[in-house]
Amino acid sequence: MQKDSLDHHLYHWISVANERAERYGFPPGLIEESLWCLKALLGEDYLARIFEATEELHLLGLREQELARWLRGGASVDDHVIQVMDLVATMREFAADPSLGDKVDRLKRNSFWPSQFEMAMALRAKRTIGADEAVFLSPETNTAIGDFVINWKHGLIACECARLAFGDEEEEQYRLVGDLYQYADKQIKKANQRCCLKIRVGGPLVSTYLFSGERSGSVRWLVAWADGAVAAETQLLAGVAGGTSVRC
């Protein structure tokens, strides 16, 4: 991707975000400054690969798709704008830290949340202590002690961060629910009238893909149009144990 093309994508993102800037309470110019700072911190090549990617974005966002969802997913979603701004603000606080580059490199290598969490916790400690250079990030090396270090009155305090993660089964359920939402979203957009959809899951989702791209199973859905008429009842995305209904 050419530099001009990347700048075009960033400019479009900024333009859409600025249309809603008042609701965020951001001062003028903050969104523009934050996106160019993001470009400087992550690099043009990395951002270019995000925007030129063609894989479909998961509706709930998988672990390896955080920045892709926020940037390529567009700034018309409040959460996308807030998350990007928060990430930039956190990294900017450690702009002079010699280990920031290590954290950013790890963040770009499919370790987004661990790196972001470590920097966020270090920032919280830094703001709590209040003294300049009282908190600094640890390098990503085998000999590093902790994820960040607090320079306290009588010595250094190594701080190790840990996140409580879901197991593989919970992660799979999270992904399948996102697939269900995404499929329903696509089907609704094909309709010529507005409708409302309610999904009720009564048991674990089971992945049973068919060659058609849909899934067999017992999830049923009812779509009601704006005039209240029931338009359709059909099999939906996933097989479900325990009875799942999707209705208005």
Residues 3 and 89 in one domain: yes
Residues 132 and 174 in one domain: no
Domain endpoint, select from 50, 72, 93: 93
For residue 246, report the phi and psi dihedrals to the nearest 5 degrees. -125, 110
Token pair for 177 = 């629910």
- Average pLDDT on 33-54 reads 90
Exposure class string for 119-137: b at 16+ Cβ within 10 A, else e:
bbbbbebbeeeeeeeebbb
**What are the contacts of 149-153 at 24+ separation with CB within 8 A?**
150/125
* Per-residue pLDDT, 212: 36
Report the DSSP pairing between strands 195-196 and 155-159.
unpaired
Token pair for 11 = 């400019």
* Per-residue pLDDT, 80: 87
Domain endpoint, select from 93, 123, 144: 93
Per cent of the chain over pLDDT 70 is 72
Q: For all residues of the chain together, what is the average pLDDT?
A: 75
- Average pLDDT on 146-162 reads 87
pLDDT at 139 over 70: yes
Containing domain of residue 159, as a range? 95-164
Residues 6 and 84 in one domain: yes
Residues 194 and 149 in one domain: no
* Per-residue pLDDT, 39: 93
Domain count, the chain: 3
| CB-neighbour burial class of residue 97 (10 A; exposed 0-12, middle 13-18, buried 19+) | buried
pLDDT at 238 over 80: no
Residues 1 and 72 in one domain: yes
Residues 30 and 86 in one domain: yes
**Given pLDDT bands bounded at 50, 70 and 90, which one contains residue 104?**
very high
Query: Per mean pLDDT, which range of 35-49, 86-100, 197-211 is the poorest?
Result: 197-211
CA 145, chain centre distance (Å): 29
Beta carbons of 147 and 159 less than 8 angstroms apart: yes
**Given pLDDT bands bounded at 50, 70 and 90, which one contains residue 1?**
low
Amino acid at 23: R
Residues 156 and 240 in one domain: no
Residues 56 and 2 in one domain: yes
How far apart are the C-alpha atoms of 146 and 69, rounded to whole Å? 30
Residues 65 and 147 in one domain: no
Residues 174 and 159 in one domain: no
Sequential DSSP letters for 80-125: HHHHHHHHHHHHHHTTT-TTHHHHHHHHHTT-HHHHHHHHHHHHHH
For residue 69, report the phi and psi dihedrals to the nearest 5 degrees. -65, -40
* Per-residue pLDDT, 209: 45
Residues 151 and 176 in one domain: no
pTM score above 0.75: no
Domain endpoint, select from 109, 142, 164: 164
Where is pLDDT greater, at 215 or 115?
115
- Average pLDDT on 79-96 reads 91
